[in-house]
């Protein structure tokens, strides 16, 4: 063992200037990151004189190094004989006695420091990563000797620490690259080097490489290594070594990088990779491989071209990216009308009784009859009719059990009828039996129930199969036994059923999908050992998929479901591919000398019957060969797809043997089986093969090859199989697909995702058209979509520690992919535009980017929830009914729709949203809660799915509901003191206002973990204490709850209120000048009061009214006698708590006929006020207006209003309904203002919410949040946005009339009845999907400030006018504000005035005055003290008196 310094002489120091540390620093466990360590290398030498030359007394002087201005460090090495102890002596001159050596040893097989066992006295171990040895003071100098006895140690590294001064003294001026190369060789981290020197050296190195300098030349230059063998060395020591050509090193490095998944390497890692590649190739050369052999081995395919491109672009180890075309996102729009049936042109004929019945049924239930089948039953007819209701739920009015049970409907009364099932071999499952059914031995018996519809008498069975194309599903069930014979039979049966499915509309298509999905997930038998030729399977599969393709062209509204069916079926054969499968296995056996054993057994199986299992077997063989013949890998692949040994033995031609190949067969088998997999894919049948192929890219490759034609290497194997490229593909499309295939296994998924999306976007216009080979393009798109989802899931780990912008970008990519796979994707596209805009805002450091992104996160979640609900309503009924008929495992039925959603982009998108949600809430300072009604409460936690489902329930103890769903229009149940929900109802929604009025805690919880925790405490007693932005909660003992101290205010019942019954005062209609308390409600009176009193820039719509008592007058008219009698009867049922009567009363009210005098007076008042008269446009327009008026009256009996009045013991008969008639302001925006912040109770702050379009989306139960802002009353020019809008729907309407409810039960003191009753426009509003990225209220800061400030000013002006907090509704049209109504703001501020004066809501003005004077006298002495507290109290007394007397 000998010693040599790895530190060069001063002549080598030209690359770097010296730098000394400033200040005192503490080291990292091994080496401080801002310092450079001295390295001393130990190595074996053969000519000691090279070191001994110039030495003294056998010692070699390594060098002298300056520590500071007065001291230096001298290092010498002891050149002991090889195998002896190496000795290192260090001497520091003119130093203090507190120097410490911080050091460690280096070995070639260790990346970190080694801590030698032989160490000087006094040495301590620092954090198990370094040694610390004190110098020994000797006079003015300090010395230290280190002995190394480990022959594997190649060097030591150290720093010197002056403990007294807490200062690190290190030696700089070292060339970093040589040190770097040494440390790279021994895998030493960059922590050993000074950061500035390291970065500068790295930059110089990269610049040299970019200039084309080879690594060999760079190494020679930097390390001063002689290029020839030292002439002084003995001849025997000189060895001629063949050097690796630099271009091969570059190729090998690229191959290594590709195998690693093309990760993003830092520059220093790039250098390591080059050196490792050099080592691998040098090792091959050292074994005797020639350079030419090496070249032939690694230069295959287009690898050299790829490397050359990287060298040309000077981008090493970097993944190329495609340049995406700039296209308008809206070009991806797919918006189909929700039609279910194609209109049939028929010759007019006289309607039959059953035609009339069908029409009545459709009108009554607002549904569409999908199909009708008539069966004769004696002198009666049985009518089978499924029905469909769009956008709500899919259901059927025909319910039957087993295979024969039908609905009986006839034009005359029928006696009791029994329907028996006698054609089935066994009774139907009990899960689908209608109520009242009796199971017989091999049948069931069900009685028809009787009912009457518009004079037609009928009898009906139960509701089994509700929401399905039942006849089709039963037909499928009848044919299933035949379908199980083989896939050929199944696909032929499916093709036979396509026409019937199409005739059943969307439900029929879904029925086929459910059946095929059950098959694809192996819930149904694929083959009962039926011998069928592959060609026959392919032909049947082609027939079925051809039919699906034709329907795809003709019925675009079904494309999304048809895609799902096709993805579950597979592409099918092409030409004679199906037949060649049996032939090609012989070629594989012959080419690779594997004719016996498992391969022969598989060959026999393939000859007898080809099935999707063969794709799995082929993949298992490939995995087995790639693993160097690990048989465990073979079985693992089989088991992953459900193929066991027992299954292999169950084939008609069983497979007994395991594969057993030789190493020399490896390359040939991989080649041939890989090509064979392509043939299987072309003939392949099921989603299993698709799913498995996604991971290897094989199915994508097959789909691409089918559309583009096979590459040259596949042609020889596919002799006789003609695959022609699809014509008319976009320019550059083949290169785009080649890019996708080249990067399908990349570790960094982002470039691949971009390429996949670009390919799908290029395909999109073709799929909207009608190209010749539509089916092949559909399957290509399905493969691209599937590969995309897999790549995103693979990238989850990559997204663990990235900036929010990266996650947002991935969200935008996934949204685009989802849009390309979804019909009616307008909402998704606008979500995508919003995320793109949020991403730009984040890049531009806009301080509202997180708040804006959070709004689109909420909207995206709403879109996903809506899609999931649509899938569930569409598919689950068919899954449950068909599953019961086919005896599918119940667990598979239960999760049917859930698994469909999980397998799509929606689930991937949801996972990404969950990742970024807490980040956005943190940046936007939103916290985990939004407190809508801040009340401190305690009670028993009760978990419910929907608040709507329990709104009429009464709880007998204080209850805090944790409700998964709150829409905004619900009532708060009796006994409830708190509601916690993840939903986001508007702060000014009905339920929010009701919560504040009733002093009920109401809050949205954004944190799913917190919500899950609370749900886990179901039944326990908890206390909640809110602030304006957060909530603290804790579990408490029941005794604390029973003490009654915690819920002093919470959940206080609204006091009983009384109404004065209103009378008809002789007028059917009145103008605004005639509005009075006897004639109309507060809503109408307030609008009339505002006219002429608000600022000129605030408009008030012209109004007339239909006064109190008019409904009762119309009802008592002789022309409405039958209606009156029916309502009276129904009210009797209601009095007995039969709440179903509410809906019947509403329907009955709609049958009222308008008296002539009403029409005449209303016309006169409307025209006299300058309003248009609907009847001038025709009788139909008047009928529309009259229907709207009746709907307002009927809303007196809506459930929410009825139960709300019951709670306050309000006499429902005394409730009168006036109707305020106004011209609709066709609003650009609508708003609601609370002039006192309802969440905080801050009377100095205005709170408002704004929506695009009409205000119904704000006050109604429309999903999403409105734009919200606050504004201080002393600074109305500075509105502060609290949240951007997430409502996806806006309502717009042409010029029309609206009829607003205005009851005497609204705005009562102590009871907020506002919003309980309906306002109905004469014309139906148009629902528009909103694009906020083009909305100036969102994007134009100046416009936003102007509008929001104007809204705040209007609210403040109206509050000043009334002298009390106001709840104002209005609209904005072309920049002008309109106020359509105002009412006192119910809640804390208003109610406190009564409490302050100690009076009730029914107190007279005289009682209020006396109470005020009494309080003034009582506190007169305290007031005289003029304390701040008493001054505020005086102001409060005066304000309460002023407001209550005015009102």
Catalytic machinery residues: 990
Distance CA 523, CA 494 (A): 17
Distance CA 854, CA 861 (A): 11
How crowded is residue 1016: how many other Cβ atoms within 10 Å of its Cβ?
11
Distance CA 208, CA 219 (A): 11
Q: Are 1320 and 1297 in contact (CB under 8 A)?
A: no
Long-range contact set of residues 239-245: C-beta below 8 Å, sequence gap at least 24:
241/286, 242/285, 242/291, 243/216, 244/278, 244/281, 244/282, 244/285, 244/291, 244/294, 245/291, 245/295
**Which helix or strand (DSSP H or E) is residue 195 part of?**
helix 195-210
867 φ, ψ (degrees, to nearest 5)? -65, -40
Q: State both tokens at 299.
A: 């230069």
Distance CA 829, CA 815 (A): 8
Helices (H), 1307-1427: 1336-1339, 1341-1362, 1388-1397, 1405-1418, 1420-1424
How crowded is residue 289: how many other Cβ atoms within 10 Å of its Cβ?
14
822 φ, ψ (degrees, to nearest 5)? -120, 135
SS3 873: helix
1219 φ, ψ (degrees, to nearest 5)? -130, 120
Q: Judging by DSSP bridges, how do beta strands 1103-1106 and 1217-1223 pair with one another?
A: antiparallel
Residue reference for tokens 């990292």: 28
Angle between helices 487-503 and 534-554 (to 10 degrees): 20
DSSP label of 396: B
DSSP label of 13: G
**Which helix or strand (DSSP H or E) is residue 738 part of?**
helix 733-742
Q: State both tokens at 1435.
A: 């102001």
Angle (CA) 308-311-312 rounded to 5° is 85
HSE-up of residue 1337 (Cα within 13 Å, Cβ side): 30
Q: State both tokens at 1130.
A: 């129904």
DSSP label of 1368: E
- For the sheet with 136-138, list strands across it: 60-66, 72-78, 86-92, 141-148, 136-138
Q: State both tokens at 587.
A: 């070629």
Distance CA 644, CA 635 (A): 8
Residue reference for tokens 């407190």: 931
Distance CA 205, CA 207 (A): 5
Distance CA 387, CA 358 (A): 10
Distance CA 435, CA 448 (A): 10
DSSP label of 1309: T
SS3 456: strand
Distance CA 317, CA 251 (A): 11
Distance CA 830, CA 832 (A): 5
Distance CA 607, CA 1026 (A): 74
Give whole-number Cα distances, 343 to 335, 459, 505, 874, in Å.
Answer: 19, 29, 11, 22
Q: State both tokens at 591.
A: 């080419």
């Amino acid at each position: 063992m000998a010693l040599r310094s790895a530190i060069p002489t001063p002549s080598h120091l030209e690359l770097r200037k010296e730098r000394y540390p400033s200040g005192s620093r503490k080291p990292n466990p091994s080496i401080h990151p801002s310092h450079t360590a001295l390295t001393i290398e130990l190595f074996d030498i053969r000519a000691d004189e090279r070191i001994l030359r110039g030495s003294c007394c056998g010692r070699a002087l390594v060098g002298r190094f300056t520590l500071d201005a007065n001291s230096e460090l001298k290092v010498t090495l002891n050149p002991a004989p090889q195998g002896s102890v190496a000795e290192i002596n260090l001497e520091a001159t003119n130093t203090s006695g507190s120097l410490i050596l911080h050091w460690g040893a280096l070995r070639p097989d260790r990346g970190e420091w080694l801590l030698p066992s032989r160490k000087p006295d006094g040495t301590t171990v620092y954090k198990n990563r370094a040694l610390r040895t004190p110098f020994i003071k000797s006079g003015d100098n300090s010395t230290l000797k280190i002995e190394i006895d480990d022959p594997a140690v190649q060097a030591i590294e150290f720093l010197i620490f002056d403990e007294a001064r807490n200062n690190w003294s290190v030696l700089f001026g070292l060339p970093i690259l040589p040190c770097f190369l040494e440390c790279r060789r021994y895998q030493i981290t960059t922590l050993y080097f000074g950061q500035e020197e390291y970065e500068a050296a790295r930059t110089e190195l990269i610049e040299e490489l970019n200039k084309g300098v080879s690594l060999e030349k760079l190494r020679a230059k930097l390390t001063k290594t002689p290029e020839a063998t030292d002439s002084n060395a003995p001849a025997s020591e000189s060895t001629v070594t063949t050097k690796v050509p630099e271009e091969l090193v570059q190729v090998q490095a690229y191959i290594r990088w590709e195998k690693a998944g093309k990760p993003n390497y830092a520059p220093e890692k790039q250098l390591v990779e080059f050196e490792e590649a050099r080592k691998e190739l040098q090792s091959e050369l050292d074994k005797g491989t020639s350079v030419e052999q090496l070249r032939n081995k690694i230069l295959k395919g287009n690898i050299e071209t790829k490397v050359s491109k990287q060298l040309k672009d000077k981008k090493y180890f970097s993944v190329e990216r495609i340049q995406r075309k700039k296209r308008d996102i809206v070009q991806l729009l797919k918006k189909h009308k929700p039609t279910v049936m194609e209109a049939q042109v028929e010759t007019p004929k006289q309607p039959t009784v059953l035609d009339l019945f069908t029409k009545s049924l459709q009108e009554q239930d607002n549904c569409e009859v999908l199909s009708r089948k008539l069966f004769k039953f004696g002198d009666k007819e049985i009518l089978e009719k499924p029905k469909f209701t769009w956008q709500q739920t899919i259901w059927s009015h025909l319910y039957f059990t087993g295979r024969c049970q039908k609905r009986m409907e006839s034009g005359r009364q029928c006696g009791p009828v029994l329907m028996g099932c006698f054609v089935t071999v066994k009774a139907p499952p009990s899960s689908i039996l209608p109520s009242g059914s009796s199971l017989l031995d091999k049948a069931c018996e069900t009685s028809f129930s009787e009912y009457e519809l518009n004079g037609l008498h009928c009898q009906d069975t139960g509701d089994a199969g509700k929401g399905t194309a039942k006849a089709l599903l039963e037909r499928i069930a009848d044919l299933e036994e035949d379908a199980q014979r083989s896939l050929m039979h199944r696909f032929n049966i499916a093709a036979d059923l396509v026409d019937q499915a199409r005739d059943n509309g969307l439900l029929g298509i879904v029925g086929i999908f459910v059946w095929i999905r059950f098959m694809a997930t192996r819930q149904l038998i694929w083959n009962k050992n039926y011998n069928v030729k592959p060609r026959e399977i392919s032909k049947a599969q082609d027939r079925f998929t051809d039919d699906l393709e034709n329907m795809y062209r003709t019925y675009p509204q079904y494309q999304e479901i048809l895609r799902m069916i096709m993805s579950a079926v597979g592409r099918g054969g092409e030409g004679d591919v199906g037949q060649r499968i049996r032939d090609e296995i012989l070629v594989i056996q012959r080419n690779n000398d594997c004719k016996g054993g498992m391969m022969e057994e598989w060959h026999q199986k393939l000859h007898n019957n080809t099935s999707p299992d063969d794709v799995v077997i082929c993949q298992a063989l490939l995995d087995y060969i790639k693993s160097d013949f690990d048989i465990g890998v073979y079985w693992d692949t089989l088991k992953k797809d459900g193929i066991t040994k027992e299954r292999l033995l169950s084939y008609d031609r069983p497979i007994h043997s395991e594969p057993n190949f030789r190493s020399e067969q490896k390359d040939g088998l991989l080649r041939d089986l890989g090509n064979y997999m392509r043939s299987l894919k072309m003939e392949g049948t099921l989603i299993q093969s698709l799913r498995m192929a996604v991971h290897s890219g094989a199915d994508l490759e097959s789909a691409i090859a089918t559309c583009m034609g096979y590459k040259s290497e596949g042609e020889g194997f596919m002799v006789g199989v003609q695959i022609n490229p699809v014509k008319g593909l976009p320019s550059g499309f083949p290169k785009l697909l080649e890019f996708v295939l080249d990067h399908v296994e990349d570790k960094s998924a982002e470039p691949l995702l971009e390429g996949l999306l670009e390919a799908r976007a290029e395909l999109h216009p073709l799929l909207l058209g009608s190209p010749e080979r539509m089916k092949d393009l559909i399957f290509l798109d399905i493969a691209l979509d599937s590969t995309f989802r897999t790549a995103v899931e693979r990238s989850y780990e990559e997204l663990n520690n990235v900036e929010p912008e990266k996650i947002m970008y991935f969200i935008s990519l996934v949204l685009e992919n989802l849009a390309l796979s979804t019909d009616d994707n307008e909402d998704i596209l606008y979500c995508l535009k919003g995320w793109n805009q949020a991403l730009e805002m984040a890049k531009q450091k806009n301080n509202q980017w997180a708040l804006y992104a959070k709004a689109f996160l909420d909207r995206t979640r709403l879109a996903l929830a809506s899609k999931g609900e649509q899938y569930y309503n569409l598919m689950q009924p068919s899954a449950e009914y068909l599953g019961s008929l086919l005896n599918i495992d119940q667990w598979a039925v239960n999760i049917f729709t859930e698994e469909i959603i999980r397998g799509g982009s929606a689930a991937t998108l949801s996972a990404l949203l969950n990742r970024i949600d807490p980040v956005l809430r943190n940046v936007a300072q939103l916290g985990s809660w939004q407190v809508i009604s801040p009340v401190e409460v305690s009670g028993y936690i009760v978990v419910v799915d929907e608040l709507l489902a329990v709104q009429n329930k009464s709880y007998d103890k204080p209850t805090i509901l944790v409700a998964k769903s709150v829409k905004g229009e619900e009532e708060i149940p009796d006994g409830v003191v708190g509601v916690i929900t993840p939903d986001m109802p508007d702060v000014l929604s009905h339920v929010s206002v009701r919560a504040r009025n009733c002093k009920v805690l109401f809050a949205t919880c954004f944190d799913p973990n917190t919500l899950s925790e609370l749900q886990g405490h179901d039944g326990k007693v908890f206390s909640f204490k809110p602030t304006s932005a957060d909530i603290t909660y804790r579990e408490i003992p029941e005794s604390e709850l029973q003490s009654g101290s915690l819920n002093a205010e919470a959940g206080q019942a609204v006091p009983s209120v009384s109404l004065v019954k209103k009378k008809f005062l002789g007028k059917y209609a009145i103008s605004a000048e005639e509005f009075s308390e006897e004639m109309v409600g507060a809503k109408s009176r307030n609008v009339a009061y505002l006219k002429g009193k608000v600022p000129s820039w605030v408009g008030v719509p012209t109004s007339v009214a239909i006064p109190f008592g008019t409904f009762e007058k119309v009802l008592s008219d002789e022309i409405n006698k039958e209606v009156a009698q029916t309502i009276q009867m129904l009210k009797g049922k209601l009095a007995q708590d039969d709440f179903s009567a509410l809906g019947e009363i509403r329907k009955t009210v709609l049958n009222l006929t308008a008296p002539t005098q009403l029409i005449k007076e209303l016309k006169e008042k409307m025209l006299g006020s300058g309003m248009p008269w609907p009847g001038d446009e025709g009788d139909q327009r008047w009928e529309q207006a009259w229907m709207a008026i009746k709907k307002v009256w009927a809303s007196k009996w809506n459930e929410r209003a009825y139960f709300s009045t019951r709670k306050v013991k309000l006499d429902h008969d005394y409730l009168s309904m006036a109707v305020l008639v106004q011209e609709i302001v066709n609003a650009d925006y609508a708003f609601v203002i609370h002039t006192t912040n309802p969440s905080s109770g801050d009377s100095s702050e205005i709170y408002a919410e704004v929506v695009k379009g009409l205000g119904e989306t704000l006050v109604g139960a429309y999903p999403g949040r409105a734009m919200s802002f606050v504004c201080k009353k002393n600074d109305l020019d500075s509105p502060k946005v609290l949240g951007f809008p997430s409502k996806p729907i806006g309502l717009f309407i042409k010029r029309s009339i609206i009829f607003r409810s205005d009851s005497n039960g609204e705005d009562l003191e102590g009871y907020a009845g506002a919003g309980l009753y309906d306002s109905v426009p004469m014309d139906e509003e148009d629902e528009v999907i909103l694009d906020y990225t083009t909305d100036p209220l969102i994007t134009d800061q100046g416009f936003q400030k102007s509008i929001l400030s104007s809204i705040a000013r209007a609210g403040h002006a109206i509050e000043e006018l009334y002298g009390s907090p106001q709840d104002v509704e209005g609209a904005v049209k072309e920049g002008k504000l309109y106020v359509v109504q105002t009412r006192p703001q119910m809640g804390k501020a208003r109610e406190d005035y009564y409490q302050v004066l100690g009076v009730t809501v029914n107190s007279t003005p005289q009682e209020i005055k006396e109470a005020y004077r009494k309080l003034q006298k009582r506190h007169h002495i305290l007031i005289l003290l003029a304390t701040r507290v008493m001054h505020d109290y005086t102001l409060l007394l005066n304000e309460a008196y002023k407001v209550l007397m005015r009102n």
